[in-house]
């Protein structure tokens, strides 16, 4: 087995709907300064009262495509799918005790009808589950749609964007859509992070323009660091970092002169049960946060979001106060 060091960060105080209290966090990484950096951000959050976390949406997709002779055939097919949604959902849900079809997003282009099936998948990440359910639903569609000939059908059209960053996931959600937010006290930032709220706010504005110019899927700094470290430690499918790394960061100065900061992760793909979560070390890491097993995936999502915000605070403060390079020189593995 490949060996990757695991460090423990925290505790981190979380005021969530599913994660409530203080949590120590396992992070598997070869980067020498990573755990120390996240600890620094967690300290700033704790001294300011904790981080509030909220899951606003939850969906996993499979996106088949149906090909017709012309655009009218594709358009009329989509209308028929909408009219028969309840039966399609019953066919899909018959394949699983967990999967539930929430809605179907249709996208029309040329003579193609793309259907983005959106499921809830319980405590599993759910890609295989929704593939099986969508295949059953599409079988019923192909057997019962008679108005126009379906020239060709593919179970996946690339619109679900498995293992790829995409704008559709940022807009529509894939996995858990979770937000972490905190109000960082001015005296905490100046005393412990050596930076004023105004400097962090200005840096965030400048960095957002840089993100636009680069075409990045994230206007924050490095959410993938925390997400990857926690994914490896807890047995997640690490390739899902490609989608899960997307982030939307926002800051503002409050009337009291403190810093409000929040990040939304629109496509956090995780599981608390099944797959790699059952491996010995990975299960132990999940149990450390009381996140192993059924009914725990939303708690895990809130903890990951809080950790991501701590990392953003720490690195933004280091860059704004010019401590970034010196910290790596002192604590990194480059010596």
Active site residues: 31, 237, 328
Alpha helix ranges (H) inside the chain: 34-47, 71-83, 85-93, 127-144, 167-172, 186-192, 197-214, 223-234, 241-244, 280-288, 297-320, 324-331
For residue 61, give the nearest of 183, 184, 166 by alpha carbon.
Answer: 166
Q: How many CA atoms lie within 13 A of 200 on its CB side?
A: 32
How many CA atoms within 13 Å lie on the side-chain side of 168?
Answer: 16
Strand partners, 113: 66, 108
How many CA atoms lie less than 13 Å away from 143 in the CB half-sphere? 9
Contact 176, 298 (CB under 8 A): yes
In whole angstroms, give the CA distance from residue 116 to residue 102: 11
């Amino acid at each position: 087995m490949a060996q990757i060091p695991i460090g423990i960060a925290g505790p981190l105080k979380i005021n969530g709907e599913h994660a409530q209290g203080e949590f120590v966090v396992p992070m598997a990484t070869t980067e020498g300064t990573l755990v120390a950096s996240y600890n620094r951000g967690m300290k700033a959050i704790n001294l300011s009262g904790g981080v509030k976390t909220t899951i606003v949406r939850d969906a996993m997709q499979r996106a088949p495509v149906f090909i017709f002779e012309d655009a009218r055939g594709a358009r009329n097919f989509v209308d028929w799918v909408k009219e028969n949604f309840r039966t399609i959902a019953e066919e899909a849900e018959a394949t699983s005790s967990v999967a539930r079809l929430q809605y179907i997003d249709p996208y029309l282009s040329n003579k193609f009808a793309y259907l983005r099936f959106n499921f809830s998948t319980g405590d599993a990440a759910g890609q295989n589950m929704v593939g099986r359910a969508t295949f059953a639903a599409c079988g019923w569609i192909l057997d019962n749609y008679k108005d126009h000939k379906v020239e060709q059908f593919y179970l996946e059209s690339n619109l679900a964007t498995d293992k790829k960053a995409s704008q559709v996931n940022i807009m529509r959600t894939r996995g858990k859509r979770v937000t972490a937010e905190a109000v960082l006290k001015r005296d905490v930032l100046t005393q412990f992070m050596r930076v004023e709220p105004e400097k962090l706010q200005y840096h965030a504005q400048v960095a957002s323009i840089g993100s636009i110019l680069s075409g990045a899927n994230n206007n924050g700094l490095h959410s993938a660091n925390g997400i990857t470290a926690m994914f490896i430690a807890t047995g997640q499918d690490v390739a899902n970092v490609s989608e899960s790394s997307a982030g939307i960061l926002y800051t503002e100065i409050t009337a009291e002169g403190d810093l409000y900061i929040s990040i939304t992760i629109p496509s956090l793909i995780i599981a608390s049960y099944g797959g790699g979560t059952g491996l010995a070390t990975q299960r132990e890491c999940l149990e450390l946060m009381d996140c192993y097993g059924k009914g725990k995936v939303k708690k895990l999502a809130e903890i990951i979001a809080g950790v991501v915000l701590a990392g953003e605070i720490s690195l933004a403060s280091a860059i704004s106060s010019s401590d970034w390079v010196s910290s790596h020189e002192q604590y990194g593995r480059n010596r």
